[in-house]
Amino acid sequence: METLLDGRLKILQGDITECSTDAVVNAANGSLRGGGGVDGAIHRKGGPDILRECMDIRQHRYPEGLPQGKAVITSAGKLPSKYVIHTVSPVWKDGSKNEKEILSMAYKNSLRIATETGLNSIAFPSISTGVCGFPRDIAASVVYKTIKNYLQKKSLPREVYLVFYSEDDLNVFLSSIKSFL
């Protein structure tokens, strides 16, 4: 595990559904109904309570679906974490459709919810770099800058984990942020 930002940012390879942090972040789709990748894994392992809460959020707060960059919180069902923060990230087009700004907002809004809820720890997957096609090196710089700027202003969460499913993804992230260290 690599640690940065005075030990507050921890970077590791693993399975986000195994994290026992206060919250894990779900790279959700706007329907909040589950899907593939991280979204499907969180819903499968967390069980039906997560989907039930997501459907309540859809019915009462976001009937048209959760917009990109926004985030909401539910319980974690059977996951080892306490909460799931669901955020919708952008699909990469060509970089001219505010994709970087939306990705940054997905992280900021997730961190904001963690702070407002009083959470000490949060774990993020590599949001948007899978089926959404966001270039991993560009995502790395956006994510690192966003988290660094947020943690410089806030005391919570105390620990932010970036959990990469593959060693290759972890290595791309680390090599992409070297110029910022």
Name the residue among 95, 40, 98 with its Cα closest to residue 69. Answer: 98
* Helix, strand and coil in the chain, % to nearest 5: 40, 20, 40
> Which candidate in 15, 22, 39, 56 is catalytic?
39
Name the residue among 68, 69, 82, 66 with its Cα closest to residue 24. Answer: 82
Residue 15 known to be catalytic? no
Catalytic positions, written as ranges: 39
